Structure formats: structure tokens, C-alpha cells
Amino acid sequence: MIAVRVSSARVRVLTVLALSIFAGSAAAHSGTGLAGGFASGFAHPFGGGDHLLAMVCVGIWGALLGPRLRYELPMVFPLLMVGGAIAGMFVLPMPPVELGIALSVVMLGGCIAAAWHAPAWLAITIVSLFGLFHGYAHGRELPSSADPVGYSLGIVFATGLLHVLGIALGESALRMGCVQIIRAAGAAIGLVGVVYLWSARVA
């Protein structure tokens, strides 16, 4: 029975990694505009490996950090995404957004790989900062969207689902004693983030 549970955990981790392989590159945020509506917004995080991995990592890291941050990190990220989206809509000055998004994948994957039990205030600060970067990228696309409200709601809903997936993966790893597997997945995600970071740097 234990072997079956461990195998199930491995399948979940491999599923997340497979999604990242088939997802688009981090340089997908050109600000040229997207089709509007809830469905388009919902699909957007699943079409870019950078967003997908960062959002799943927030849930995993929160689960590893304990009961309080298990829920707080997945709440903070979308809230700050909204703030970042508003900043993006008004084109407020920000550091290079693509670098920030790529760095979020590197750092969040690294936090999981290291099983880093950061202080609550620092974990919230890190996730908040990266939420701003991800939101800003979406905000730059919103003004040219046919239905920015529906598009925004779709992104927030998809983000929540990806956070829940991350929490489920982290919780499963803890319950089944498979933390080393999830840490290895974090290391792999961090390496994918390095590729994104290099792509953003040379773009």
C-alpha cells in the first residue's frame, strides 16, 4: 500500500514537470494583446511554464512551511497580482518584468529544494514581490483585451487552482514521507527557471 502511495506521489510530480515542458517560454509576455474573456484568462497561466511553475511552487512551499503559510501564501500571491496588474495597466515603472518572473521560478524552486523554513514575514515578502511581477505582465495585456474583467477573473481563478494543486502535492509529500521527491522536483523547477532567466537576459 505504501509503495502505491509513493508511486502516486511521483506521478503527480512528474505531471507538473511534464506540463512545464510543454508550456510556452517565459518570453510570452509581449504586451501585444490577447483575446478577452474568462476562458482566455483561465487558459493563460497554463500556456506559459513560468506562470504555471511559479504558482504551483507557491502552494508547495506554503504546505512545507506549515499550517499558517499553507493558506497565507496562496492568498497573498493573487492579491499582489491584482496590484501588479493595475501597475501594468498604467505602465508604472518596474524593474525588468521578464527577469523578475524567471527569477520567481528559480527562487521558489530553490526554496522547495532546500526545504527552507523561512520566517513568515520573509516568505510573505518573497511571494508578494513575485506576485507583483506576474500581475504586472498580465496588466500590460489587459487594456487591449476585449473583456479585461472576465480575463482577470479567469487568471485569478486559474491561479487559485494552481495554488491548490501545489498545496495538494506538498501535503501528499509530507503525509507519505516523500519530501525528498518534492525537493527533487523543486530542484528541477529551479533549473527550468535558470533557462527562463537566461532567455529573458538575452532577449
Task: Using 70 as the pLDDT threshold, list the residues of the chain that sit under it.
Answer: 1-36, 143-146, 202-203
Q: pTM for this structure?
A: 0.80
Quote the pLDDT of residue 144. 63
* Predicted local confidence at residue 145, as pLDDT: 60
What pLDDT does residue 173 have? 93
Residue-number span of the structural domain to which 190 is assigned? 2-202
pLDDT value at position 201? 77
Total count of domains within the chain: 1
Rounded CA-CA distance 183/189 in Å is 10
Cell numbers given for 189: 523547477
**In the block, residue with C-alpha cell 491584482:** 82
Nearest 5 degrees, angle CA 169-CA 186-CA 110? Answer: 135
Would you list the DSSP string of 130-157? Answer: HHHHHHHHHHHHGGGSS-HHHHHHHHHH
Mean pLDDT of the chain: 82
Q: Tell me the per-residue pLDDT of 31-56, one tens digit each, with 9 for 90 and over.
A: 444 556 788 888 888 877 888 999 99
